[in-house]
Amino acid sequence: EVQKLNQQLEEKNGEIQQMINQPPYEKEREILRLQKTLAEKEKAQATSDVLCRSLTDETHQLQRKLASTAEMCQHLAKCLEEKQRKEKGNSDDHIPTERSDQVFLQLLCLLDNETSLQALICNLQEENRMLKQKVAHV
C-alpha cells in the first residue's frame, strides 16, 4: 500500500515538474482549461442545488398533502361512525361492526394515499432524470 502511494506521489511530482518546465503559453492554456473545467463543475453544482431544493420543496408539499388527506380520512371515518350510531342506536352488538367499518375506511384512505404517493414519486424521479439529461446536454 505504501509503495503504491509512493508511486502515485512520484507520478504527481513528475506531472508537476512537466508543468513547471512547460513554456509560459502552455501553462496559460492549461490554466484556462482548468478554469473552464472548474466553471463547468460549479455550474453543474448550482443546477444540482436548484434541483435538490425543488425536490425538497415538493417533498414537503407532498408531506403536507398526505397529512391533510389523513386528517380528512379520519374526519370522514368519524362522521360515518356517528351516522351509523344514529341509524342503529347505541346497542353493544353493533359496536364491533362500526369499528371494523371505520378501520376499513381508514385503510382504504391510506392505500389510496400510498398509491398516489408512489405515482408522484415515480413522476418526480422521471422528471429528475430528464432534467439531469438536459443539464448534461447543456
Contact 44, 135 (CB under 8 A): yes
pLDDT at 111: 61
Contact 77, 102 (CB under 8 A): yes
pLDDT at 68: 84
Give pLDDT tens digits for 36-66. Answer: 999 999 999 999 999 889 889 998 998 888 8
Residues of the chain with pLDDT under 70: 90-117, 120
Domain definitions of the chain by residue range: 1-90+98-137
> Residue 133 CA to chain centroid, in angstroms?
17
Question: pTM for this one?
Answer: 0.40
pLDDT at 75: 81
- Of 108, 38, 39, 41, nearest to 73 (Cα)? 108
pLDDT at 24: 75
pLDDT at 129: 80
What are phi and psi for residue 23, nearest 5 degrees? -65, 155
Contact 64, 107 (CB under 8 A): no
Q: What is the DSSP letter of 92?
A: G
Contact 109, 70 (CB under 8 A): yes
